Structure 1
Amino acid sequence: MKTTFHKAESRGFANHGWLQANHSFSFANYYNPENMNFGALRVLNDDVIAPKMGFGTHPHNNMEIITIPLKGVLKHRDNMHDEWQPVLPGEVQVMSAGTGVQHSEINGSIVEHLSLFQIWIMPNKQNVAPRYGQKTFDVNDRINKLQTLVTSIDDDHEGSLKIHQDAKISRIDLENGQNFQYNLMSIKHGVYLMNIHGRISIDNKTLNTRDAIGIWDASSFEISSEEDSSVLFIEVPMNF
């Protein structure tokens, strides 16, 4: 098993006033040639957006974009939909940019900050028709068990959102003292694991809130929770 360990404070950080952004990989003004991606995972941004603020209309193409609100309300609008669409904690949003999408994202609250993860995964198909998906996931379905959020559009897994890549995004909420074994889809895949909050241990390493570890060349690995914790898994092909 091979690993790469990223402490929360080692991430790129940008303070734009209205936006506090932490970048797990090189993004915008944060550039680290040794930290460009993890396999097909290109971006994992941990953003806090001030009330009423956000990103104006901007383009994307040939990228799978997944957004996971953690606190507050995200409002999204794109050229596939005329109306603003709220995306709330407990929901996940996916957008296949494909041949091109224009979209806007704002904090839908006038008083509360918005906290979210945005994930970009490089697709295995180019120039597909743009598509959008959004789904609510019950928090009770991930207590001490894996809850699958996103899988490949070619996968027959029911209940998950779909993207154009042989990837899987999932979450688990582990109670203190619980152990969990994660099984990878194949030896050609790797998992980038973000500890959303709490404290866990993997391979004799302790991960505190927002610490992350990339794991590859493995078929499985064990997680032990040292306090109540919430964990995000992003499993992707490594041949990128």
Structure 2
Amino acid sequence: MSDTRIAFIGAGNMAASLIGGLRAQGMDAASIRASDPGAEQRTKIAAEHGIEVVADNAEVIQGADVIVLAVKPQAMKTVCQALAPSLSGKQLIVSIAAGITCASMQNWLGTQPIVRCMPNTPALLRQGASGLYANAQVSAAQRQQAEQLLSAVGVALWLDEEQLIDAVTAVSGSGPAYFFLLIEAMTAAGEKLGLPRATAVQLTLQTALGAARMAVSSDVDAAELRRRVTSPAGTTEAAIKAFQAGGFEALVEQALNAAAHRSAELAEQLGQ
């Protein structure tokens, strides 16, 4: 990426996390530019990352090799159609907007190399998980550029089929909220068992963090880790049996199916 010039359309939280990740990896500030309609946001991002931030989208993409579309899905059509006359057909377009297909972007931008990706909010801490899909116009070198961009904020995994973006959305895109919900529920249950709220919060958060780190660093899968801490007729087994009696696994599957279905619906609605 050392010789790559990157332009960000939109300088919100996700764009800022990507810019921060690139800068942390040693990318020169002069190689990164961004645009944003908000004067306050432009000043903030310029100060934090030492890059040029302007108001005009057509201006910011001048000379760029990679253009990152980091705008709200509802604004993508308008933004793309305005950019189209300024594109050469050679710049790599990286979209982090949920629900906008490559076909829709091709309709609005013309024939362009496009990588569509679905990052998640832990990218703000450089602990993100992203699924990436490239259309047929993307070269091997451009695939590498896109992977390096998303890897700057976490794990980046390629998909062979674009429709799998809906599954990525269900698993990792929306996934942080599922864990937050479990944290909420465990904290509330701890309080009902008599713990002070602050204690219940701290115990729950540290347990979630420790369990995630164990799963990431372990050489066995989560099922085996669970078995190892579930003693026969013990307290953990009692809790696990209660979860399963309530249909825990089926409920998780139902929830992820609902998220994937909604992702596909949004793609159809927003791509018109």
Could you state the TM-score of these two structures normalised by the residue count of structure 2?
0.24
Going by fraction, where is strand more abundant, 1 or 2?
Answer: 1
Could you state the TM-score of these two structures normalised by the residue count of structure 1?
0.26
Going by fraction, where is helix more abundant, 1 or 2?
Answer: 2
Which structure would you say has the larger Rg? 2
